[in-house]
Amino acid sequence: MNCIIIEDEMPAQKILKNFIEKLPNINLQATFKAAIEANAFIKNNVIDVIFLDINLPDMSGLDFIKTINKPPAIIMTTAYPEYAVNSFELDTIVDYLVKPFSFDRFLKAVNKAESRLQIWKNTKEDNTEIIYLNVDKTLHKITLSSVLYIESDRNYITVVTETQKLSYIDSLKNWTEKLPNNQFIQVHKSFIINSKFVSKISGNLIFVRDFKIPIGRTYKQGLLKQLQIV
């Protein structure tokens, strides 16, 4: 696994480097003191794991994760355990190390990251329509074809399937990059629907099964075109 460190405290950087050197299955590619410094490197290199501090000089680690398109596995490092609950709501975060942490706790986090990466790899190889959402510290298996609609409310996303309703911190923009364009349509600034389950359109409402979804004025023409309604 290729990893990078984003950590502004030199003692913490040194501990992470020493621990990484002890493991043959993980390779340190670069170390950064600020998130913005790492931004270009992540775009131009294959990174599997990021060891990421929460309190950074330019932006918080949690905010930085939201800027990354298809982020790798994230292991958070911080001296503030109170951030743990919010950080786990981001499904790319696999573990949370509270400073100072021991080598055995570090190893546990790396093993969790390796397991998560294997799940993602198997999912991609076996069925590209399956993803896993980390909600309340539990991985929920989602088949994209079963998603009825996705709703955005401020910083939260609610994914509604035929059998589940899951809410967690994410953005609708991230979902537009995950979903197949030929099946899912954004119909409102806060809604993406699965065209497979559309039952009818009435005025500025689209019915997905029995759910009434508003149609935004700027999205209606594109919706009708994609549904091949003339």
Out of 86, 107, 126, pick the residue that ends a domain: 126
Encode pLDDT of 107-150 as tens digits.
Answer: 999 999 998 888 767 655 544 577 888 888 888 888 888 899 99
CATH number at residue 53: 3.40.50.2300
* Both tokens assigned to 224: 């009708």
pTM above 0.75, yes or no: no
Please tell me whether residues 78 and 23 are part of one structural domain: yes
Rounded to whole angstroms, the Cα distance separating 137 from 222 reads 37
For 38, the 3-state DSSP assignment is: helix
CATH number at residue 161: 2.40.50.1020
Span 154-174, average pLDDT: 89
Enumerate helices (H) and strands (E) in the chain, giving the number of each: 7, 15
Helices (H), ranges, the chain? 10-21, 35-44, 61-67, 84-88, 103-126, 172-178, 220-226
Q: Is 30 left (phi over 0), alpha (psi -120 to 50) or beta?
A: beta
Owning domain of residue 183: 134-226
Please tell me whether residues 118 and 144 are part of one structural domain: no
Share of the chain above pLDDT 90, in %: 47
Q: How confident is the model at residue 44 (pLDDT cuts 50, 70, 90)?
A: confident
Nearest to 97 by CA among 88, 89, 106: 106
Please tell me whether residues 9 and 99 are part of one structural domain: yes
Please tell me whether residues 96 and 9 are part of one structural domain: yes
pLDDT at 178: 72
